[in-house]
Amino acid sequence: MAYAKEQRLVLNNYDKINPTSIDEYVIRGGFRALRKALSMSSAEIIQELKISGLRGRGGAGFPTWLKWSFTAPIEVDQKYIICNADEGEPGTYKDRLIMDKDPYLLIEAMTIAGFTLGATKGYIYVRGEYPHSQKILNTAIANAKMAGMMGNNIFGSGFDFNLQVFSGAFAFVCGEETAIIESIEGKRGEPRIRPPYPGVVGLWGKPTVINNVETLANIPAIINNGGRWFANIGAIKYPGTKIMTLSGDVANKTFVEVPTDTTLYDIIYTFGGGVVGGNFQAVQVGGNSGGLLPASLLETAIDFDSMQAIGGSLGTGAVFVINDRHDLLDVVKNVAHFFTEESCGKCTPCREGCQRLYDFMNKVCEGEATAKDLQIAAGLARVMNKTALCGLGQAAPTPVQTAIKFFGKKFEERINAK
Ligand SMILES: Cc1cc2nc3c(=O)[nH]c(=O)nc-3n(C[C@H](O)[C@H](O)[C@H](O)COP(=O)(O)O)c2cc1C
Ligand code: SF4
> Is residue 32 within 8 Å of 111, Cβ to Cβ?
no
Q: Which ranges of the chain have pLDDT less than 50?
A: 1-2
φ and ψ at 315, to 5 degrees?
A: 55, -130
- Of all ligands present, the nearest one to the C-alpha of 67 is 1
pLDDT at 31: 97
- How far out from the chain centre does Cα 176 lie? 10
Among 344, 352, 355, 357, residue to substitute to test ligand 2 (most atoms within 8 Å of Cβ): 344
Report the C-alpha gap between 161 and 70 in whole angstroms: 20
| CATH for 241-299+317-323, options being 3.90.79.10, 3.30.470.20, 3.10.20.600, 3.10.25.10 | 3.10.20.600
Distance from Cα 76 to the centre of ligand 1, integer Å: 26
What single-letter DSSP state applies at residue 33?
Answer: H
Domain ranges of the chain: 22-231, 241-299+317-323, 328-414
> 367: helix, coil or strand?
coil
Tell me, using a 6 A CB cutoff, whether residue 392 lines ligand 2: yes
Q: How many residues does the structure list for the chain?
A: 418
Tell me, using a 6 A CB cutoff, whether residue 61 lines ligand 1: no
Per DSSP, helices labelled H in 293-344 are 304-309, 328-342
Distance from Cα 108 to the centre of ligand 2, integer Å: 33
pLDDT at 416: 81
> CATH number of the domain at 22-231, please?
3.40.50.11540
**Could you give the C-alpha distances from 140 to 19, 101, 143, 159, in angstroms and in order?**
8, 11, 5, 19
Tell me, using a 6 A CB cutoff, whether residue 211 lines ligand 1: yes
328-414: CATH topology: de novo design (two linked rop proteins) (1.20.1440)
Report the C-alpha gap between 92 and 317 in whole angstroms: 7
pLDDT at 1: 43
Neighbours of 245 (CB within 10 A): 21
Tell me, using a 6 A CB cutoff, whether residue 351 lines ligand 2: yes
Residue located nearest, by CA, to atom 20 of ligand 1: 58
* pLDDT tens digit sequence for 34-78: 999 999 999 999 999 999 999 999 999 999 999 999 999 999 999
Distance from Cα 176 to the centre of ligand 1, integer Å: 5
Tell me, using a 6 A CB cutoff, whether residue 392 lines ligand 1: yes
pTM above threshold 0.85:
yes
Tell me, using a 6 A CB cutoff, whether residue 86 lines ligand 1: yes
Tell me, using a 6 A CB cutoff, whether residue 84 lines ligand 1: yes
Among 84, 127, 288, residue to substitute to test ligand 1 (most atoms within 8 Å of Cβ): 84
* pLDDT tens digit sequence for 263-310: 999 999 999 999 999 999 999 999 999 999 999 999 999 999 999 999
φ and ψ at 46, to 5 degrees?
A: -65, -40
Tell me, using a 6 A CB cutoff, whether residue 354 lines ligand 2: no
Report the C-alpha gap between 330 and 348 in whole angstroms: 26
